[in-house]
Amino acid sequence: MTATLEADPVATAAAPPEEGTASRFPRRWWGLAALLAATLLNLLDASIVNVAAPSIRAELGGTAATIQWLAAGYTLALAIGLLTGGRLGDMFGRKRVLMVGLVGFLAASLACGAAQSIEVLLASRAVQGAFAAIMVPQCFGLIRDMFGRELGKAYAVFGPLIGLASIGGPVVAGLLVDADLFGTGWRSIFLMNLPLGLAALVLGAKVLPAGAPSLKGLRLDLGGALVAATGMCLLLVPLVEGRELGWPAWTAAMLVASVPVLGLFALGQLRRSRSGKTALIELSVFTKRSYTSGIAFVVVFFGAVTGFSLAVGLFLQLGLGFSPLKASLAMAAWAVGAFIGSGASAGLAPRLGRKILHVGLAGMAIGLAVLYLQFGAGSAPGPWALSPALLVYGIGMGMIFVPLFGIIVGDLEDHEIGSASGLLESFQQGAAALGVAGLGTIFFGRFTIGGGEAEAMSAAQTITGVTIALTAVAFAVVFGLPKRAREER
């Protein structure tokens, strides 16, 4: 479930100086529709396998780790690619790079839908994530170009739909898998990308502004990107595979090795900055306490939300025996709550500043506390029994989506915004992959496939308790963020 959920940090923190964008971009609302379709592709595919994973495993085989990799592989590739995806738009023009990203994403989606083995599917999912990393940064940059100082109008539409789509993926997946359109079963969750993506491609080609590259002659730090990718793989692979393999020595070695490798990446970026070369990240952003606190919040929040989403889907299907449709309906209240919360935050955030995050986290904690009691009750819940708690949890979560990233970058200088936003998105996706690996490992450590309802209830209660603890940590981290986003001061 995770994906790029934020309003554009570049846009929200530093409004561009251009005036008269309505006259310069008369078809900007059509352009927004194309960009929204492209963004929805990423949001849906980041979370859509959470409900479909058991059906995929039943047909193609695999292990518990396979289920985790269906989600983690996509978000890991996305996190790694985001370090360079934004720079590609600066070098070659945002519209052109967006079109390339869309074509690649659709080709990978077709490969996912046609996969005849779990290995091909996992590889295609990684390719999907890589092309999403090329596509997503261009969407937010183009919105900023087209709407200028009237970004609020665009995000009044964009924000709530992002919140709904972020959690709606599992619901859509359940409906499609159960409908079994033309006998496609789970494959339809990937094939549905084709009409939506083609619409975005055709419409975008006609109405989006071409724009000139802003950084001609820039040379990407591909070596730095490779080191970062290596460090993240060293961290995540043992977390996903370790429990099922009995934590052999190589898993511990990889975890330990990830620390110096990621440290080497940071050192390399520092050296490039000092030598006047373009680095993937602007290290000066880490001198701002609000930004470092924001990074910590993103890791905890998105890791918890994404991991919990996967665990709930697995609990309902593998533990309680729900069909994909029944599981998606049981989680529908979560999606409705996210939509309500995202819409409400648009009006509340300007008045409350960072307090909107505390309000949202409090709502999440209340919903989680009720779920914890339900899972500990002993008797398995029906499909609608979890809806009230999931609704409250979703409302709280939705209130955080839209204002979060504008608040985090509120103290940054204009020249730091571009690098900071790309890095923040990368941390978000890395946290999502880490949440899937970490909470998935805990869940399968307490629940064995076929273990029965009582074991599943115990595992679900454990995961909910861990998520409550992570939500409390996120609540404390918020105090390091600025009280008001820069654009509000």
Inside any domain, residue 73: yes
**Residue 434 dihedral angles phi and psi, to the nearest 5°:** -65, -40
The reported pTM is 0.72
Residue with tokens 């490992």: 441
Same domain as 445, residue 299: yes
Maximum separation of any 2 CA atoms in the chain, in Å: 64
Name the least confident of 57-61, 262-266, 279-283, 359-363: 279-283
Q: Is the pLDDT of residue 412 over 50?
A: yes
Structural domain that includes position 237: 221-279
Same domain as 438, residue 386: yes
Name the least confident of 23-27, 101-105, 311-315, 414-418: 414-418
Same domain as 153, residue 14: yes
Same domain as 238, residue 325: no
Q: What percent of the chain has pLDDT over 70?
A: 82
Give the SS3 label for residue 189: helix
Same domain as 180, residue 80: yes
**Residue 274 dihedral angles phi and psi, to the nearest 5°:** -70, -30
Inside any domain, residue 448: yes
Same domain as 321, residue 456: yes
Closest listed residue to residue 433, CA positions, set 199, 202, 173, 231? 231
Q: Is the pLDDT of residue 307 over 70?
A: yes
Nearest-angstrom CA–CA distance, 262 and 235: 10
Give the model's pLDDT for residue 23: 56
Same domain as 318, residue 250: no
C-beta neighbour count of 275 within 10 angstroms: 8
Nearest-angstrom CA–CA distance, 176 and 273: 49
Inside any domain, residue 458: yes
Give per-residue pLDDT as tens, 204-243: 899 888 766 655 556 777 888 888 888 888 887 887 677 6
Q: Is the pLDDT of residue 68 over 80?
A: no
Same domain as 387, residue 459: yes
Of 244, 279, 314, the position where a domain reaches its end is 279
DSSP 197: H
Inside any domain, residue 481: yes
Nearest-angstrom CA–CA distance, 326 and 335: 15
Of 229, 264, 279, the position where a domain reaches its end is 279
DSSP 315: I
Q: Are 395 and 344 in contact (CB under 8 A)?
A: yes
Average pLDDT over residues 364-391: 90
Average pLDDT over residues 426-431: 78
Q: Is the pLDDT of residue 293 over 80?
A: yes
For residue 286, give both structure tokens: 């880490």
Give the model's pLDDT for residue 73: 83
Helix locations, 279-386, DSSP H = 289-314, 324-330, 332-352, 355-375
Q: What CATH number has the domain bearing residue 99?
A: 1.20.1250.20
Same domain as 308, residue 233: no
Nearest-angstrom CA–CA distance, 138 and 422: 11
Same domain as 131, residue 56: yes
Give the model's pLDDT for residue 349: 75
Inside any domain, residue 3: no
Same domain as 213, residue 243: no
Inside any domain, residue 324: yes
Q: Using CA of residue 141, residue 338, residue 403, residue 418, what is the dihedral sign?
A: negative
Give the residue, 373 or 52, on which the prediction is more confident.
Answer: 373
Residue partners of 183: CB distance under 8 A and separation at least 6: none
Of 211, 246, 279, the position where a domain reaches its end is 279
Average pLDDT over residues 171-179: 76
Q: Which CA distances in Å does 463 have to 84, 87, 273, 337?
A: 34, 38, 42, 21
Give the model's pLDDT for residue 489: 38
In DSSP notation, 133-177 reads HHHHHHHHHHHHHHHGGGHHHHHHHHHHHHHHHHHHHHHHHHHHH
Q: Is the pLDDT of residue 160 over 80?
A: no
Give per-residue pLDDT as tens, 8-27: 333 333 444 444 555 567 78
Give the model's pLDDT for residue 486: 45
Average pLDDT over residues 161-188: 74
Q: Which of the residue ranges 27-31, 164-168, 359-363, 439-443 has the most confident prediction, judged by mean pLDDT?
A: 359-363
Average pLDDT over residues 358-371: 95
Give the model's pLDDT for residue 149: 66
Q: What percent of the chain has pLDDT over 90?
A: 22
Average pLDDT, the chain: 80
Same domain as 290, residue 257: no
Number of domains in the chain: 2
Inside any domain, residue 2: no
Inside any domain, residue 4: no
Query: In whole angstroms, what separates CA 308 from the centre of its chain?
Result: 13
Give the model's pLDDT for residue 105: 96
